[in-house]
Amino acid sequence: MVQFHSMSRLLLLLILTLSALSAQSTPYGSNAAVGRTFTHDGVRLYYEIYGSGEPLLVIHPNGASIAAMKRQIDYFRTHYRVIAMDTRDHGKSGDSTGPLTYEKMAADLAALLDHLKIPAADVIGWSDGGIEALLLGMNYPAKVKKIAATGANLNPSSSAVYPETIALVKEMLASIPAADRDKPEVRRSIRTSQLMLDEPNIDLNALHAIQAPTLIMAGDHDLIRDEHTIEIFHHIPNSQLAIFPGTTHAVSYEQAALFNATVERFFSRPFVQIDRIQDLLKTFAAIQQGK
């Protein structure tokens, strides 16, 4: 139990500091030169924009900020207009006055696109960002061109998330000293961590509403169960699947080059539905013809 308790404190430290992942030349998430705000649903929301080209919305994970998407911003800003926002109760954005939900976060992102007068964008989301990306596709289909979501889950149960992950979050919350619970950064951490235990609650069949081509991704040692990731893939009509070997829930950071290249390939090519039999036969025919 001592080892598990120390792990819970480590998780708390990670949640409190994930927004500072990068000691970088461009201070993503704290760049006064490009940082802007707007207000939606009574919450002041902070965002940054980099590069030029087709719009690309990148969405950070729970407990983090724009800075967590450093390796995606660095790569995609060279040929996209990359838009990154601190979701409510994160980073430099304000806090919710009512319950914190993924639906509200997705609504904020849709409002950001409206604020910027962007009709539709490609979307990359990591973890909670992946959940929000899927909700954008479900609830605001006209605003989404293509979705790339990694480490997303549809519910907080052990059928979707490995039980040791749930236990670790619960232990972390329980281990916070009473004297620290009124500190602003700890209150935020409690609120956002509790969100992972309570939400999301998305019905598998609701994914059929996503018409945008969608790339569902995960690490082969993800926090999300492999079978749950595959269920998500199978319930989105226009979808592809990528499981990255030798990676965790943080594949977009750990293997950024491979991750970014995979997403870029998906975004840049026309989406084509694959027929597992007919397309295989076409390949066999090409092999026989020596092509």
Mean pLDDT by runs of 10 across the 291 residues of the chain is 43 49 67 97 98 98 96 98 98 94 98 98 98 98 98 98 94 91 90 96 97 98 98 98 98 98 98 95 94 76
CA 258 – CA 19 distance, rounded (Å): 22
Residue with tokens 């019905």: 203
pLDDT of amino acid 291: 76
CA torsion 12-107-218-241 (nearest 10°) is 180
Secondary structure of 86-111 in HEC code, one letter for each residue:
CCCCCCCCCCCCCCCCHHHHHHHHHH
Alpha carbon 229 to its chain centroid, in Å, reads 14
Nearest CA among 102, 50, 106 for reference residue 81: 50
Task: Give all domains of the chain, ordered by start, each with its CATH number.
Answer: 2-288 (3.40.50.1820)
> Residue 183 is encoded by which pair of tokens?
């500190």
Nearest CA among 47, 207, 54 for reference residue 119: 54
| C-beta separation of 241 from 272 below 8 A | no
> pTM of the entire structure?
0.91
**What sections of 162-255 are H helices per DSSP?**
163-175, 184-198, 226-235, 251-254
Task: Count Cα atoms within 13 angstroms, Cβ side, for 121.
Answer: 26
Q: How many residues does the chain have?
A: 291
pLDDT of amino acid 25: 55
Residue with tokens 């605003």: 143
Q: Cα separations (Å) of 87 from 84, 90, 140, 151?
A: 9, 5, 17, 17
pLDDT of amino acid 156: 97
> Residue 269 is encoded by which pair of tokens?
């090519």
How many other C-beta atoms lie within 10 A of the C-beta of residue 114? 14
- 84 - beta bridge partners? 48, 58
Assign residue 246 a region: left if phi > 0, alpha if psi is -120 to 50, beta otherwise? left
| C-beta separation of 94 from 102 below 8 A | no
> Residue 153 is encoded by which pair of tokens?
């889950």
Residue type, 162: Y
| C-beta separation of 187 from 256 below 8 A | no
> Residue 146 is encoded by which pair of tokens?
């293509």
CA 187 – CA 173 distance, rounded (Å): 11
| C-beta separation of 150 from 251 below 8 A | yes
